[in-house]
């Protein structure tokens, strides 16, 4: 690339990022760390980068200090690792400032990690984004060392979703705005929280999600990992969608895919599951009650967004309910989240260190269902030292007292506001 072109791009990007209209997200970044923003396509990584730029500007930094580059720009096709240093030198010919680097979709440049590592070694402040496995591979983790914090970017939480739709709730929202919250939740429940989806009309949302999935499937999966058996991968994804509430072993998944499509080996299934995780389409949970080997080979898999999961379901309600709870818990407790399946008890979610157990049940109106869910929570072993027990429903609330223990039943749309999902006590529960 020519230096003159690079200089023009530097100033063009500065003008753009300074004026981007943002809906602020509740993500706090330390001024002392470099960051790699990772996550699903269209989850909002670039906008989180814009948000950080505007925070720096509002705190006294000048726009001249910002060196932002978007490597998805068609004018940057063919950029190589050597061009990255040329970008730095071009900036230094424009300004006397020490630049703060914002490198968007940097994974498109082969060898980018060595350049970024050098910047960190030279004490530059650096932020980068990426959407696929190459941002979290063991090789890159080794290269970047301890110089970067991996910041996972999720789709909107429910409070963020409401804020993005212009709905502001005060301390008395439960009494004043509950009907509006419930109405908005139905769309969030069915179509998920990817930020750009807010721009689509209701009838367009499924089409938008289908197009996004196709980009992930054909671009981030088939092309990047050079998968030839696309039929087997499609069957696997559909099988995972239809079993989000149950553990799925490698062997069982292999048999199902082989029966429904082409013959496939267990090693290939293991690879495919790894690819699906690396593109942030799914995330796994381990069974706290299992031995080490079983924890690895027999997991539950959830989708990172309800809208994408809903593409594969014909009767989605109960699946979406458990999945949306899993997403919120994954957001808040990434290192403390398990399920518990044992002969004595089967509980959907257990936060071991936080000492919380959660069952998910669409409705407790059926007596047998109610007893099954309550019994499961009460049957957890004393060794878990569970302090709080929840049953999360679609729209029911009560307090169940049994055997000297309390089970809090709460609607999912209320639980998603955070005080319950974080396990915090609230002064007044609107139940």
- pLDDT of 316 above 60: yes
Residue at 170 is within a domain: no
The verdict on 300 and 384 lying in the same domain is: no
In this structure, the answer to whether residues 293 and 326 fall within a common structural domain is: no
- DSSP state at residue 381: -
Identify the band that residue 132 occupies on the pLDDT scale cut at 50, 70 and 90. low
Residue 167 inside a domain? The answer is: no
Does residue 28 sit in the same domain as residue 38?
Answer: yes
Domain edge (last residue) among 153, 170, 190: 153
In a domain, 185, yes or no: no
End-of-domain residue from the set 153, 172, 192: 153
| 422 band by pLDDT with thresholds 50, 70 and 90 | low
| Range 91-97, long-range pairs (CB < 8 A, 24+ positions) | 91/10, 91/67, 93/3, 93/7, 94/7, 94/10, 94/11, 95/64, 95/65, 97/62, 97/64, 97/65
Asked whether residue 25 falls in the same domain as residue 130, the answer is yes
The answer to whether residue 346 scores a pLDDT higher than 50 is yes
Within 8 A by CB and 6+ apart from 290, the residues are 298, 341
179, part of any domain: no
Is position 177 within any domain? no
User: Can you say how many angstroms the Cα of residue 78 is from the centroid of all Cα atoms in its chain?
Assistant: 30
Cα–Cα dist 221/419, whole Å: 37
Tell me, what CATH number does 236's domain have? 1.10.10.10
Q: Are residues 149 and 64 in the same domain?
A: yes
The number of helix segments (H) and strand segments (E) in the chain equals 17, 14
Give the residue-averaged pLDDT of 33-37: 92
Residue 243: partners with Cβ closer than 8 Å, 6 or more residues away:
301
- Residue 420 resides in a domain: yes
pLDDT on residue 428 = 34
Interatomic CA distance for residues 276 and 265, integer angstroms: 17
What's the distance, CA 29 to chain centroid? 17
The reply to whether 10 and 144 lie within a common domain is yes
pLDDT exceeds 70 at position 431: no
Whether residues 355 and 425 share a domain: the answer is yes
Q: Is residue 237 a part of any domain in this protein?
A: yes
pLDDT at 137 > cutoff 70 = no
* Residue ranges in 122-177 assigned as alpha helix (H): 138-144, 158-164, 173-176
308 and 370 assigned to the same domain: no
* pLDDT per residue as tens digits for the range 226-274: 999 999 999 999 999 999 999 999 999 999 999 987 789 999 999 999 9
Q: What would the mean pLDDT of 22-50 be, rounded to a whole number?
A: 91
Q: According to the model, what pLDDT value does residue 420 have?
A: 59
pLDDT score of 427: 34
pLDDT digits (tens, 9 = 90+) for 350-377: 999 999 999 999 999 999 999 999 999 9
CA 109, CA 124: separation in Å to the nearest integer?
Answer: 20
Do 60 and 149 have their domain in common? yes
CATH number of 407's domain: 3.40.1350
Q: Both 366 and 401 in a single domain?
A: yes
This model's pTM is above 0.85: yes
Asked whether residue 430 carries a pLDDT value surpassing 70, the answer given is no
Give the span between the Cα atoms of 9 and 15, in whole angstroms: 10
Q: How many CB atoms lie within 10 A of CB 69?
A: 21
CA distance 101 to 79: 17
- One domain for residues 273 and 374: no
Using CA atoms, how far residue 377 sits from 36, 390, 407, in Å, is 39, 8, 8
Pairing state between β 398-402 and 388-393: unpaired
Domain hosting 423: range is 316-431
Share above pLDDT 90 across residues of the chain, in percent, rounded to a whole number = 75
> What are the start-end ranges of the H helices in 263-316?
266-278, 292-297, 306-310
Residue 15's domain is classified under what CATH number?
A: 3.40.50.300
Give the residue-averaged pLDDT of 33-42: 91
Q: How many domains does the chain have?
A: 3
Is 32 found in the same domain as 133? yes
């Amino acid at each position: 690339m020519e230096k003159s072109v690079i200089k023009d791009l530097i100033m063009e990007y500065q003008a753009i990022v300074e004026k981007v209209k943002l809906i602020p997200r509740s993500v706090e970044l330390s001024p002392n760390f470099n960051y790699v923003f990772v996550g699903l396509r269209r989850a909002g990584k670039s906008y989180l980068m814009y948000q950080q730029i505007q925070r720096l500007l509002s705190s006294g930094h000048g726009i001249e200090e910002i060196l932002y580059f978007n490597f998805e720009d068609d004018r940057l096709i063919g950029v190589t690792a050597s061009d990255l240093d040329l970008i730095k030198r071009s900036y230094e010919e424009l300004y006397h400032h020490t630049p703060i680097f914002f490198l968007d979709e940097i994974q498109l440049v082969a060898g980018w990690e060595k350049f970024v590592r050098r910047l960190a070694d030279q004490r530059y402040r650096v932020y980068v984004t990426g959407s696929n496995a190459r941002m979290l591979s063991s090789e890159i983790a080794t290269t970047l060392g301890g110089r970067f914090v991996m910041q996972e970017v999720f789709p909107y939480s429910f409070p963020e979703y409401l804020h993005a739709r212009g709905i502001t709730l005060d301390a008395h929202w439960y009494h004043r705005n509950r009907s509006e919250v419930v109405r908005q939740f139905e769309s969030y429940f069915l179509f998920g929280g990817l930020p750009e989806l807010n721009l689509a009309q209701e009838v367009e949302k499924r089409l938008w999600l289908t197009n996004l999935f196709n980009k992930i499937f054909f671009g981030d999966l088939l092309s990047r990992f050079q998968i030839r058996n696309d039929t087997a991968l499609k069957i696997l994804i559909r099988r995972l969608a239809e079993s989000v509430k149950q553990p799925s072993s490698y062997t069982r998944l292999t048999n199902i895919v082989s029966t429904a499509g082409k013959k496939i080996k267990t090693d290939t299934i293991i690879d495919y599951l790894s690819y699906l995780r690396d593109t942030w389409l799914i995330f796994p949970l381990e069974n706290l009650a299992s031995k080490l080997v079983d924890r690895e080979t027999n997991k539950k898999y959830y989708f990172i967004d309800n809208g994408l999961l809903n593409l594969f379901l014909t009767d989605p309600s109960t699946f979406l309910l458990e999945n949306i709870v899993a997403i919120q818990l994954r957001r808040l407790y990434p290192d403390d989240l398990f399920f518990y399946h044992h002969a004595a008890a089967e509980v959907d979610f257990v936060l071991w260190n936080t000492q919380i157990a959660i069952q998910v049940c669409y409705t407790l109106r059926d007596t047998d269902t109610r007893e099954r869910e309550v019994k499961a929570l009460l049957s957890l072993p004393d060794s878990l030292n569970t302090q709080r027990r929840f049953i999360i429903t679609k729209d029911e609330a009560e307090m169940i007292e049994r055997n000297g223990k309390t089970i809090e039943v709460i609607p999912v749309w209320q639980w998603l506001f955070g005080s319950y999902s974080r396990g915090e006590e609230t002064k007044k529960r609107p139940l």
